[in-house]
Amino acid sequence: MRCLVTGAAGFIGSHLTENLIVSGHEVIGLDDMSTGRQENLAAVSEHPRFGLVQGSILDATLVDELTAGSDWVFHLAAAVGAFVIRDRPLASLRTNIHGTENVAEAASRHDARLLVASTGEIYGKNATVGLREDADRVIGSPLRSRWTYAEAKATDESLVDGYVRERGLRAVIVRLFNTAGPRQNGRYGMVIPRFVRRALTGRPLTVFGTGDQTRCFCHVLDVIPALVRLVQSDQATGLAVNLGSSQQVSIAQLARMVIAMTSSSSAIEHSSYLDVYGSGDEDMQRPVPDCTLAGQLAGFDATRPLAEIIQSVIADQWSRIATAAAIGT
């Protein structure tokens, strides 16, 4: 198949691109390199069936040109990470809303199958353990930076749904819950690489809020095959599908695990949510997905345990530290 991957130089996009190339597909990546890195694509950058276009999903003409002739479009490009959303609210909203509209419009015009990456964040403060796809959204004020990412992604879902219903677009939405693994960047707020980096460099690990809030981390390599199966599934067309693990860990526990696994002398310090979101104590306390639908449609199963995820991030961060040191000398 000929595939377009938006956000190909990012964390999930680069793993997906590698998988598609290994499976014999042709891939064009589109990325503006805002949080993506050329190094993420090192394994495929010289491959004859791969090409990278540096540009933005906000460029509707470019998106249209690249979509023409594509069989599958994976739309992963987005403004991602709490620090990005806090520091660049307007640009983030435009990317996450108008960018997705451009991609959906082009996929519809060229009759390509589309997979759109949404997020488990859209459920907000709904505290049900085992959130099904039809669960209600419980969201704070749209004027709070904490929820604008979720608001934009929810708007994307409605837009895509409109294209499916009115224009016959063959699209599936995936709601990813805390995907982690090598190549994820801690600089923009993602907690595992941020903790690992600080532990390896002997700096304190900052926990926002009490640290009692839990997350369920899923290894990126458990997620990727499901994305490839879902984009081609007729049964999945028009649906939103959760993808994540159901194994909860509190953020305080996670910090202790990272310190133990890196044999670090780092301390744990607490900081207010104000520091990360610019507004008070608003967070998802216990987002746990029900992934029955993904199991049925794509054979999805989150098999890799948290310790394996952390270990893979430690190896990745060590190699980044070594590369930086080598360049510095």
Ligand X SMILES: NC(=O)c1ccc[n+]([C@@H]2O[C@H](COP(=O)([O-])OP(=O)(O)OC[C@H]3O[C@@H](n4cnc5c(N)ncnc54)[C@H](O)[C@@H]3O)[C@@H](O)[C@H]2O)c1
Q: Is 7 a residue that touches ligand X (CB under 6 A)?
A: yes
Q: Supply the minimum distance, in Å, between the C-beta of residue 244 and ligand X.
A: 8
Out of 149, 163, 188, 277, the active site residue is 149
Distance in Å, CB of 4 to ligand X, minimum: 11
Strand runs (DSSP E) across the chain, as ranges? 2-6, 26-31, 50-54, 72-75, 113-119, 129-131, 171-176, 179-180, 205-208, 214-216, 218-219, 240-243, 248-250, 268-271, 288-289
Residue with tokens 């007729």: 234
Per the CB < 8 A criterion, the answer to whether 82 and 274 are in contact is: no
In the numeric block, which tokens belong to residue 35? 């949080």
Q: Rule CB under 6 A: is residue 28 a binding residue for ligand X?
A: no
Q: Which of 3, 4, 5, 11 binds ligand X (CB under 6 A)?
A: 11
Does residue 42 bind ligand X (CB under 6 A)? no
6 vs 245, which CB is nearer to ligand X? 6
Q: Does 100 bind ligand X (CB under 6 A)?
A: no
264 forms part of the interface with ligand X (CB under 6 A): no
As a whole number of angstroms, the distance between CA 246 and CA 198 comes to 26
**Does the annotation count 149 as an active-site position?**
yes
Query: Residue 58 interacts with ligand X (CB under 6 A)?
Result: yes
Q: Which of 24, 11, 221, 248 is nearest to 120 (CA)?
A: 248
Q: Which two tokens stand for residue 208?
A: 């926002």
The correct pick among 3, 5, 20, 77 for binding ligand X (CB under 6 A) is: 77
- DSSP-derived 3-state class of residue 63: helix
Q: Which two tokens stand for residue 69?
A: 């002739």
CB 75 within 8 A of CB 13: no
Cα angle, residue 9 at apex, residues 5 and 11 outer, rounded to 5°: 100
How do 26-31 and 50-54 pair as beta strands?
A: parallel
CA 79/CA 88 separation, integer angstroms: 9
User: Does the footprint of ligand X cover residue 245 (CB under 6 A)?
Assistant: no
Q: Is 10 in the site for ligand X (CB under 6 A)?
A: yes
Considering the rule CB under 6 A, would residue 13 count as an interface residue with ligand X? yes
CB 223 → ligand X: shortest distance, Å?
A: 9
Structure tokens of 209? 């809020």
Q: Can you tell me the distance from the alpha carbon of 8 to that of 59, in angstroms, rounded to the nearest whole number?
A: 16
- Smallest distance from ligand X to CB 202, Å: 26
Tell me the closest approach of the beta carbon of residue 265 to ligand X, in angstroms: 29
Of 5, 21, 80, 154, the residue at the interface with ligand X (CB under 6 A) is 80
* Ramachandran category for residue 141: left, alpha or beta (phi over 0 → left; psi -120 to 50 → alpha): beta
Q: Does residue 57 belong to the site contacting ligand X (CB under 6 A)?
A: yes
Q: Which of 145, 148, 178, 245 binds ligand X (CB under 6 A)?
A: 178
164 vs 182 by CB, closer to ligand X: 182
Q: How far is the CB of 167 from ligand X (least distance, A)?
A: 22
Per CB under 6 A, the segment of 50-58, 197-205, 233-241, 265-273 that binds ligand X is: 50-58
Residue among 5, 26, 36, 298 that touches ligand X (CB under 6 A): 36
- Binding residues for ligand X, rule: CB under 6 A, are 6-7, 9-13, 30-36, 56-58, 76-80, 95, 99, 117, 119, 176, 178-179
Catalytic positions, written as ranges? 149
